[in-house]
């Protein structure tokens, strides 16, 4: 039976349940791993917790090793540490927020029946925590680190494997300093160009299925960041002085002011309503001097006028932003 090491890297306790599921899925493989190397990336508390939770899982078939990243912080250093600690002829990698199908290693092992294959991988299927968004196309699965429509669906040479589901012969690492060293990429590219390497993708009916746990919150935060960037750009054009009074990233009060009253010209014209809105929206945290400064900046701004479509844009972007905490000025 081919000896396969599995490297799992983790850095945060926020994914503790995911990590447990990942380790459990590797423990239950039909083709047992020779060893499972869990690398904790510069997190002493997580390392101590992992030792208590996983050290006793070693069996006669599979050795479980919990180690700390001895290299630079980050996935590159963590994986290189895992490679150094592993002992199998093949080194496989799976993310800490993914779960391997029971026959993952069995199918991975079969790929290496061809001695020319240096690396092998398979597909990664998203497991949506709250259901797949209706607007999210399969072509964009790469955004969440999963196999996307357009990737090969049968065995074929490819340039890159997705790190969440890949394996590499140990001799590749023996020939280069590290997994992420430029020499490694150059060597693999050279082998492929010479026809000595045949990267492997499993056929669709029998492909490896890794259920990646997708944290929708990360993508919500990315959307919010884009919204804030566009709003800041809009304000820089139409009301640049407002940024000197209010922090748009921390305080939605400025955006509410625009959404309800319109541009700076209307704020200046309706100074009384603007003062009331600023006081209520900030929950009384804005003093009179700050409110006067906002109204004055609306009256004296050098920005170009805002039109209806600009106000509508602010309102749409405002809907994508979370409610600010009371201490953040509304």
Give residue-wise pLDDT tens across range 52-90. 999 899 988 899 999 999 988 888 889 999 999 999 999
* Mean of the per-residue pLDDT values of the chain: 81
Burial class (CB in 10 A: 0-12, 13-18, 19+), 8: buried
Q: Is the pLDDT of residue 6 over 80?
A: yes
- How many C-beta atoms lie closer than 10 Å to residue 93's C-beta? 24
How much is the pLDDT for 242? 82
Cα–Cα dist 201/190, whole Å: 19
Cα–Cα dist 144/154, whole Å: 22
Give whichever of 2-11, 135-144, 191-200 has the largest mean pLDDT: 2-11
Give whichever of 74-88, 153-167, 259-273 has the largest mean pLDDT: 74-88
Cα–Cα dist 57/53, whole Å: 8
- pLDDT band at 321, cuts 50/70/90? low
Mean pLDDT, residues 105-130 taken together:
89
- pLDDT band at 176, cuts 50/70/90? low
Contact 145, 99 (CB under 8 A): no
- The model's pLDDT over 16-56, given as tens digits with 9 standing for 90+, comes to 999 999 999 999 999 999 999 999 999 999 999 999 999 89
Domain ranges of the chain: 4-214, 218-328
Q: Are β-strands 209-214 and 98-100 bridged in parallel, bridged antiparallel, or unpaired?
A: antiparallel
Task: Report the predicted TM-score, pTM, of the whole model to 2 decimal places.
Answer: 0.58
Cα–Cα dist 167/88, whole Å: 11
Q: Is the pLDDT of residue 206 over 60?
A: no
Q: Which residues pair with 124 in a beta bridge?
A: 210
CATH 3.90.550.10 applies to domain 4-214 = yes
Residue 6 main-chain phi, psi, to 5 deg: -120, 125
Name 72's Cβ contacts closer than 8 Å, sequence gap at least 6: none
């Amino acid at each position: 039976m081919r000896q396969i090491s599995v490297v799992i890297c983790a850095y945060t306790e926020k994914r503790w349940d995911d990590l447990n599921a990942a380790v459990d899925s590797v423990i239950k493989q039909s083709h047992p791993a020779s060893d499972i190397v869990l690398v904790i990336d510069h997190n002493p508390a997580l390392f101590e917790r992992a030792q208590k939770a996983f050290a006793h899982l070693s069996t006669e078939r599979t050795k479980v090793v919990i180690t700390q990243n001895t290299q630079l912080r980050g996935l590159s250093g963590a994986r290189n540490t895992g490679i150094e600690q592993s002992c199998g002829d093949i080194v496989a990698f799976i993310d800490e927020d993914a779960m391997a199908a029971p026959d993952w290693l069995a199918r991975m092992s079969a790929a290496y029946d061809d001695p020319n294959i240096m690396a092998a991988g398979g597909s990664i299927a998203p497991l949506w925590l709250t259901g797949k968004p209706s607007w999210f196309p399969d072509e964009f699965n790469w955004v969440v680190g999963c196999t996307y429509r357009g990737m090969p669906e049968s065995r074929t040479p490819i340039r890159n494997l997705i790190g969440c589901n890949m394996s590499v012969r140990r001799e590749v690492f023996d020939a280069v300093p590290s997994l992420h060293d430029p020499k490694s990429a150059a060597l693999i590219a050279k082998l492929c160009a010479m026809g000595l390497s045949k990267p492997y993708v499993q056929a669709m009916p029998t492909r490896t299925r890794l259920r990646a746990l997708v944290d929708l919150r990360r993508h919500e935060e990315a959307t919010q960041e884009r919204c804030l960037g566009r709003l800041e750009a809009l304000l820089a054009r139409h009301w640049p002085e407002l940024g000197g009074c209010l922090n748009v990233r921390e305080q939605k009060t400025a955006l509410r002011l625009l959404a309800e009253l319109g541009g700076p010209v209307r704020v200046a014209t309706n100074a009384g309503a603007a003062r009331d809105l600023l006081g209520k929206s900030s929950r009384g945290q804005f003093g009179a001097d700050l409110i006067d400064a906002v109204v004055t900046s609306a009256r004296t701004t050098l920005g170009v006028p805002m039109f209806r479509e600009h106000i509508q844009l602010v309102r749409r972007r405002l809907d994508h932003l979370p409610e600010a905490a009371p201490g953040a000025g509304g």
